[in-house]
Chains A and B, each alone.
Chain A
Amino acid sequence: MTITHFDAVLLFSLFTSIVFGITQRAEPRMMIRFGAFCFVLFVLGTVAGSWLMWLIKH
């Protein structure tokens, strides 16, 4: 099995955000909000980091 870098980011962010959401908040609604927040932060953080590395290289 091979996946693209972005697929790996999405999968990693999804699984990790689900666990963070469930374990770090007590109310179901807050779990969903925190999980979604973590997911967005993971993905955007990785994209931002990738562009930063590209800028450093060029």
Chain B
Amino acid sequence: MMATEMANSVQVPARAAGRSSSMALLVLIAGWLVPGAGHFMLGKWVRGLLLFVSLMLMFGVGVALQGKIYSPNTGDLLDILNFVGDLGTGLLYVVARIFDLGQVAVVTVSADYGTKFMVVAGLLNVIAAVDAHSLATGRKAS
């Protein structure tokens, strides 16, 4: 009860300082679909550009190393988790699937690195999108 009251007292000013919830949701989705897009929408150009370049390069290096891109599956738990990680890259994942990238078997160590680069790029993109959402709601100051 007391914890709830404390949480509310913290959240109310944050919401007042932030944008509308629909705008915040839009920022979150845009940030997920295109790396850095959420920050661009909020006028954080340098941060957005750094995120965009970093995540695009990370995903690009993963593809260049012939890493694997996971498809929806119900097999091994790690395969499912890797698919969820890949999905975090948003439209990059869709583009990669359309062009049949990352569909070869992983036979070298560097290809395994490539797989991890793409999964981590997806996870980092989710963090970046949530950061943009926090900025939009006012939960994060600047």
Chain A residues close to B by CB (< 8 Å): 1-3, 5, 8, 11-12, 14-16, 18-19, 22-23, 26-27
State which of A2, A8, A18, A26 has its C-beta within 8 Å of the C-beta of B54: A18
B interface residues, tally (CB under 8 Å): 27
Closest residue of A by beta carbon distance from B127: A23
Residues of B within 8 A of A19 (CB): 51, 54-55, 124, 127-128
B140 at the A interface (CB under 8 A): yes
User: Given A1-B64, A22-B50, A27-B142, do A15 and B128 touch, yes or no (CB 8 Å)?
Assistant: no
In order of increasing CB-CB distance, the 7 nearest A-B pairs are: A23-B131, A1-B64, A15-B58, A19-B124, A18-B54, A15-B54, A8-B113
Taking the closest CB of chain A, its distance from the CB of B60, in whole angstroms, is 10
B25 at the A interface (CB under 8 A): no
In the complex, A3 Cα to B64 Cα: how many Å? 10
B84 at the A interface (CB under 8 A): no
In chain B between 44 and 67, which residues have their CB closer than 8 angstroms to a CB of chain A? Answer: 47, 50-51, 54-55, 57-58, 61, 64-66
User: Given A3-B110, A22-B50, do A15 and B142 touch, yes or no (CB 8 Å)?
Assistant: no
B33 at the A interface (CB under 8 A): no
Pairwise interchain contact B65-A12, C-beta atoms closer than 8 A = no
User: Given A3-B65, A12-B120, do A18 and B110 touch, yes or no (CB 8 Å)?
Assistant: no
Interface 1/0s, chain B 87-129, versus A by CB < 8 A?
Answer: 0000000000000000000001110010011001100100110
In the complex, A15 Cα to B141 Cα: how many Å? 24
Taking the closest CB of chain B, its distance from the CB of A18, in whole angstroms, is 5
Residues of B within 8 A of A23 (CB): 127-128, 130-131
In the complex, A15 Cα to B123 Cα: how many Å? 12
Residues of B within 8 A of A15 (CB): 54-55, 57-58, 121, 124
Closest residue of B by beta carbon distance from A5: B109
Residues of B within 8 A of A8 (CB): 110, 113
